Amino acid sequence: MPPSDGVPVTNGTTQPSGDVPSKESKKSKPRPDGSARTATEQDIAEAGAGVKLTGALLKKQKAAEKAARRAEKVAEKGAHAQQQAQTQTQTQAGPSGTKLETPRRPSTTKRESDTVPHHRRTPSSGARQLPIRGAAQPQPQPQASAPHEKEKRHELNRVPMFSHLYPKEKRATLAGAGREIHPAVIALGLQLRDYVICGGNARCVATLLAFKMVIKTYTTPPAVALSRHLLTHLNHQIAYLRNARPLSTSQGNSIRWLKNLISTQPVESTDSEAKQSLCEAIDLYIRERITLADEVIAREATERIEDGDVVLTYAKSSIVEKTLINAHRQGKKFRVIVIDSRPMFEGKNHARSLIRAGLKVQYALLTAIADIVDQESVTKCFLGASAMLGNGKLLSRAGSAMVAMMVKECSRNKSRNVPVIVLCETVKFSAKAVLDSIILNELGDADALVDSAQSGVFSTNPSLAAATAAPSKGGSKKSGAKDKDEDDSDDKGAGSNKGLEEWKDQPGLFLLNIMYDVTPAEFLDLVICELGSLPPEAVPVVNGVHGDDQALA
């Protein structure tokens, strides 16, 4: 077909050549208001005149409609903002006390954030807010990092060599106990934490009695074996006690024995039978391993005390106290020297018990051990034990090693043998072997070293105690005035010098409260247990035969 007959259109129809507008004519067609129209608007207009559009033109048409609606919304928002600005201007320009408010026109459009869930960005904590013109400037707030710096400074006041002994978390509290912790275990944990219950035997017996209460009130869940679930239940109780205070050797041995007993319970037995069997076994364990063992040890040690002896002992040990009282009741005439040290001053209770029993007691601090051993002609030294280690060394209250070494040193100088005898039950025997007092130890509260409050005399005589506590009435007025002046000067000095009360805030100052120390086997002569008297080197043999301190699943 000749080109003059028509121009082909994209949809296959032909159109007269005279009706096809050129590009120049599309661009040059004016709007009714006199402004030029774009090519897209021109195509839309031609589509309204009956011209079929292609896919590209349809897309352009939809985009144009969307742009028009968007422009209309923008114009509407601009008019609304202008109206609000005019209202605000009128309010500010009006008389005082009047406020013209125009109700806000509700928006007819929905934002994308109202329909599509998204994560809102939170403002940065370190962002600085710009000041508002005309508003009062806020007062500068104190820095929140000050408490953190103080806590960090307190953490730095730890001795690095003993950093592994510091507790990893806070001590056990009443509020921090979980629902699975038995009330008896909670009470025991608080008593252990506050050192209300001290001593290896007392802690071991209290732990077993608390676990006996747990077993009595325990109920096995359905479809669960008692031997498995009860062990899991006990693990929570043990963890709470360990958080209150590290377990002693006697506690650890008794707990391992109890776990082994629970795991070997017959499957066919009922819950009541199994619980009754466990409670009876706990009572038998306490009677044989602690109560009867103490009686056997006390009887054996009493035979080694003779008339005229001067027995030296350190701190407080229940088995040593029982031995000395039994020897006194048998009519033996001897004297006791109690050496004590701060901060717990356990020797005071020991001395009080011996005085009430009628013994002659001399009390001194650890700093005077050299003079005491040299001048008082000590003939025997009895020491308690927290544990007898696998290499024959003694783990006991801090200061025991100094007492044993000083006794041996003075006996060598005077060419006489002063035996150092350790009284220890086999429940305190351990297969662990240590060479120093750093790896295996326990740290007490460092603030206890700051408190210098001390109690009065040991005498049970009320008149003597009252005379010591009350001021002297027979003294002259001059001496009383002098004493008052000295007391005033002491009070003034105490007020001006706080000492170590603020030790945590002083950089470079460290307080270390070590609970135990290790005495080498060469400074020990004899270990008396319920199995008999044996040298320190025989402790590993007893461990192998008795089976204590072995890891049980």
The predicted structure's pLDDT at residue 453: 56
Strand partners of residue 382 = 313, 421
Task: Give the model's pLDDT for residue 365.
Answer: 95
Mean of pLDDT over the chain: 78
Torsion angle of the four alpha carbons 213, 219, 221, 226, in this order, in degrees rounded to the nearest 10? 70
**Residue 203 near residue 250 (C-beta atoms within 8 A):** yes
Give the mean model confidence (pLDDT) for residues 318-324: 96
CA angle, residues 68, 69, 70, in degrees to nearest 5:
90
Give the range of the structural domain holding residue 186, as residue numbers without chain letter.
174-293
pLDDT band for 18, please (50, 70, 90 cuts). Answer: very low
CB atoms within 10 A of CB 469: 9
Domain shared by 206 and 308, yes or no = no
Mean pLDDT, range 108-128, rounded to an integer: 48
Q: Write out the H or E segment, with its range, that includes residue 339.
A: strand 335-340
In three-state secondary structure terms, 206 is: helix
In whole angstroms, what is the distance from residue 337 CA to residue 371 CA? 12
Q: Per the domain annotation, does 408 fall within a domain?
A: yes
pLDDT for residue 515: 94
- Exposed, middle or buried by CB within 10 Å (0-12, 13-18, 19+), for 258? buried
Q: For residue 278, how many other CB atoms are within 10 A of its CB?
A: 21
**More confidently predicted of 146 and 415:** 415
Of the candidates 429, 351, 362, the residue with the CA atom closest to the CA atom of residue 389:
429
- At 197-241, the pLDDT tens digits run 999 999 999 999 999 999 999 999 988 889 889 999 999 999 999
Task: Name the token pair of 248.
Answer: 């002693």
Same domain, 189 and 220: yes
**DSSP-derived 3-state class of residue 381:** strand
Task: Provide the CATH number for the domain around residue 421.
Answer: 3.40.50.10470
Task: Kindly state whether residue 73 falls inside one of the protein's structural domains.
Answer: no
pLDDT of residue 504: 80
- Same domain, residue pair 278 and 329: no
Q: Are residues 221 and 339 in the same domain?
A: no
Question: Is position 240 within any domain?
Answer: yes
Is residue 461 very low, low, confident or very high in pLDDT (cuts 50, 70, 90)? low
Q: Are residues 529 and 384 in the same domain?
A: yes
> Would residue 257 count as lying in a domain?
yes
Domain boundary residue, one of 293, 328, 351: 293
CA end-to-end distance (rounded Å), the chain? 102
Average pLDDT, integer, range 290-306 = 96
Q: Which long-range contacts (CB under 8 A, 24 or more apart) does 255-258 make?
A: 255/207, 256/549, 256/550, 256/551, 256/552, 257/285, 258/208, 258/211, 258/234, 258/282
Q: Tell me if residue 527 falls in helix, strand or coil.
A: strand
Q: Does residue 333 share a domain with residue 447?
A: yes
pLDDT given for residue 346 in this prediction: 93
Q: Give residue 499's pLDDT.
A: 62
Residues 246 and 348 in one domain: no
Cα separation values, 75 from 67, 68, 79, 534, Å? 12, 11, 6, 104
- 3 state SS of 458: coil
The helix (H) or strand (E) run that includes residue 417 is none
Q: Are residues 351 and 396 both part of a single domain? A: yes
Q: Give the end of a domain, one of 258, 293, 328.
A: 293
Site of tokens 């409050």: 453
Which stretches does DSSP call E strand in 343-449? Answer: 360-365, 380-383, 387-388, 394-397, 420-423
Q: How many residues does the chain have?
A: 553
Of 412, 390, 388, nearest to 400 by C-alpha is 388
What is the average per-residue pLDDT within 358-366? 95
Asked whether 527 and 388 are in contact (CB, 8 A), the reply is: yes
Res 465: pLDDT: 52
Q: What tokens does 265 get?
A: 């319970």
Judge if 259 and 353 occupy the same domain: no
Domain final residue, candidates 235, 264, 293 = 293
Residue 489, pLDDT > 90, answer: no
Asked, for residue 309, whether it belongs to a domain, the answer is yes
Tokens of 154: 């307190």
Tell me what pLDDT residue 13 has: 43
Domains held by the chain: number: 2
Based on the fold, state whether residues 311 and 410 are members of the same structural domain. yes
Angstrom distance (rounded) from CA 451 to CA 494: 13
Q: Looking at residue 121, what is its pLDDT?
A: 46
Mean local confidence (pLDDT), 317-342: 96
CA atoms of 496 and 113, how far apart (whole Å) = 66
Dist. CA 182–CA 197, nearest whole Å? 18
The distance from CA 231 to its chain's CA centroid, rounded to whole angstroms, is 24
User: Which run of H or of E encompasses 312?
Assistant: strand 310-314
- Report percent pLDDT > 90 for the chain: 45
In angstroms, the CA 487 to CA 489 distance is: 5
Asked which of 260-264, 451-455, 537-541 is least confident by mean pLDDT, the reply is 451-455
Report if residue 465 sits inside a domain. no
Which DSSP letter does residue 428 get?
G
Q: Are 406 and 344 in contact (CB under 8 A)?
A: no
**In the numeric block, which tokens belong to residue 420?**
């150092």
Both 396 and 538 in one domain: the answer is yes
What residues contact 313, with CB distance under 8 A and at least 6 apart? Answer: 320, 324, 336, 337, 338, 339, 350, 381, 382, 383
Please indicate, yes or no, whether residues 262 and 341 belong to a single structural domain of this protein. Answer: no
Q: Which CATH number characterizes residue 182's domain?
A: 1.20.120.420
Q: Which has the closest alpha carbon to 449: 366, 348, 342, 347?
A: 342
